[in-house]
Amino acid sequence: MEQTLLQENFWKNKDLVKKTIKQKKIFEDILNSYKKSFSEIRNIKDLYNLAVLEKNDEIIDDCISKIEQIFKDVKKIEINCFLSGENDDYNIYLEIHAGAGGTESQDWADMLRRMYMKWFDKKKYKYDIISEHKGEEAGIKSSILKVDGDYLYGLMRAESGVHRLVRISPFDSGARRHTSFASVWVYPAVDDDINIKIDEKDLRIDTYRSSGAGGQHVNTTDSAVRITHLPTRIVVQCQNQRSQHKNKETCYKMLKSRLYEHEMQKRDEENQKELNNKTDIGWGYQIRSYVLQPYQLVKDLRNKTENTNPSSVLDGNIDQFIEEGIKNR
């Protein structure tokens, strides 16, 4: 990194400066965290040895508790070591789409969205529902969330793919077992200083009546906006604002993010495969399976991570899957 800083034209290259400073901060944070943990362990070790000599069980238990907390902190540092990708520190857009199967899949899509929202709440990430299309009977056909938080794209990018649910259907009077699919798509919310050229002649802009929450005004005017980028067939939409102008502005930001990610995927064959998977929501394209009946198991099909408590996972306790996704991407 020092050699990069000493390059003759380094400070003239704004993109390189930004990238290098970002990496420098990551490395400094990791190094400082390790130094702090090492110092704390050394102090606790001295206190623990003294407590053992004095047979002070209260202090011994306190030292053990502190060591356990340091272990958790070090584990977080370990995860941060993997978050040095080009766009890992970006905020994200999260898209969820129900697969084939009508109400079953639409309810499953809503359950997935709730799972992620619960996780965001636990991590104190801020999120807004940008777009939502409700199912006829229950659940959602699709939804888009804008989420803000540290290193969110790095944390969440491995969640993109098709998620499969097996359960006894609450909508089936015969209480039969059903399999449902929903797709999750995560892409970075790019900064305003990222130069993405959008030609107006390449866009088709449609307005329509909002179907989500937002009050009587939203539901009685054509305030929702959908923009289609014709060359790539990328579609973005927003309906969470009462103002058509604000919804259009949000759509432009989303489109900019999608086009930026599209360019990244053209450079990365593996990410391109993930994009292809998004378009076929069904057997053979799954990344994770959630089985509620006849047994209980959540299993990531890529890295074999398992959890035998689906209720806990669906309640937002997905750290083990997030962490393994980062390590194995």
Decide: pTM greater than 0.85: no
Give the pLDDT of residue 252.
Answer: 87
Give the pLDDT of residue 270.
Answer: 53
Residues 6+ apart with CB under 8 A from 318: 115, 116, 119
What is the layout of strands, in order, in the sheet containing 286-291?
126-134, 140-148, 91-98, 177-189, 161-168, 286-291, 297-300, 306-307
Say how far apart CA 326 and CA 319 lie, in whole Å: 11
Helix (H) or strand (E) holding 224: strand 224-229
Give the pLDDT of residue 219.
Answer: 47
Helix (H) or strand (E) holding 80: helix 57-80
Q: What are 125's two structure tokens?
A: 């990430």
Tens digit of pLDDT at every position of the chain (329 positions): 555 555 666 677 676 676 677 677 777 877 888 888 888 999 999 999 999 998 999 999 999 999 988 887 887 777 777 887 778 888 999 999 999 878 999 999 999 999 999 999 999 999 999 889 998 889 999 999 999 988 899 999 999 999 999 999 888 878 888 899 999 999 988 766 667 778 889 999 998 877 654 443 444 567 889 999 999 899 998 888 888 888 888 898 889 888 888 877 776 655 455 555 555 565 557 899 999 999 999 999 999 999 999 999 999 999 999 999 988 77
